[in-house]
Amino acid sequence: MKKITFTLALLLVFIASNAQKDFQGMAVYESKTSTADFKSRMSGNKDMTPEMQKMIEERMKKMFEKTFILNFDKTSSIYKEEEKLEAPGQGQGGFRMMSSMMGGGGTYYKNAKEKTFTVDKEFMGKEFLVKDTLRNYNWKMEGETREIGGYMCYKATAVIPASKTDFRNFRPKKEEDVKKKEEEAKKEGENKSVEAKAEDKKEKKTSFFDEVELPKEITITAWYTMDIPVNQGPEGYWGLPGLILEVNDGKTIILCSKIVINPKEKTEIKASNNGKVVTQKEYDDIVTKKMEEMMEMNQGQGRGGMQMRMGR
């Protein structure tokens, strides 16, 4: 009798183990970043024609509105942008570079059990494989609930440092701050000699970064469901007792629009192995250095030219 009971227990453990091993889910996320401030600045640019403004708005929509697919099991996940056929000439130059820094790019692999992530990125024509430890979000449970797609969700928030290599974190400077700086520069210039003014004009630098600023911290608001008890979510978000269905950082909203549990076609959930292996800090340093070099290269260019190159 004891032998039968022991055998039955082993069988139940085996079944449960295999059920957990075979479990897999798929979630579709729509990502949208607000561009209202940038569009307002762009419409006030007298040097920009309506045709040019329309073209830039179309490019911005492509960069700031994307669809992603998250495939996950009990411990790991892969997050990729939905593949779309691009028209000839699309995604070139500065727009393509900025697009790769707007949450798109390659495959974002997270292993919650090992607390590690791997993501392949292309930057300035070079392939990088960023491998590092997952961020600890220190989530605060807020006690609020709401329904998303038929799933009961719970609210959690976290405050994190703003990444300087993610363009979604940049905010346009307030119009009054820009004008104040220009007035101060004008007043200072009135007291300079003709030679000094000429030298200032020669060395003047203008860039996308002259009119944007990066906050020190951003507040993340997440909504997760206990109905799908996996600590996964879109991009690098994780660490809650249920699948994250929505994330809002005050500028970008990532919202789940579809969920399929145990789809017929299984997806291999594994990390990419393409590119030069670097840590997150090493990759950030590479991007920052390249952006500084670009600012040097654009020395003396007018505002309109730089706006076109950088997607403003």
Q: Classify residue 13: in a domain, yes or no.
A: no
Q: Classify residue 205: in a domain, yes or no.
A: yes
What pLDDT, on the 0 to 100 scale, is given for residue 166?
76
Each residue's pLDDT expressed in tens, for the chain with a length of 312 residues: 544 444 444 433 333 444 456 899 999 999 998 766 555 555 556 666 777 666 666 676 667 789 999 999 999 999 999 876 555 555 444 555 555 555 556 899 999 999 999 999 988 888 999 999 999 999 999 999 999 999 999 999 999 998 877 777 776 666 555 555 556 666 666 665 656 555 555 445 445 556 677 788 999 999 999 999 999 999 999 999 999 999 999 889 999 999 999 999 899 999 999 899 999 999 999 988 888 887 777 655 544 444 433 333
**Please, are residues 307 and 46 in contact by the beta-carbon 8 Å criterion?**
no
Q: Classify residue 251: in a domain, yes or no.
A: yes
Strands 217-225 and 243-248: antiparallel
Range of the domain at 249: 23-310
What pLDDT, on the 0 to 100 scale, is given for residue 104?
57
**Please, are residues 172 and 38 in contact by the beta-carbon 8 Å criterion?**
yes
Q: Classify residue 16: in a domain, yes or no.
A: no
Task: Please count the structural domains in the chain.
Answer: 1
Q: Classify residue 14: in a domain, yes or no.
A: no
**Please, are residues 224 and 156 in contact by the beta-carbon 8 Å criterion?**
yes
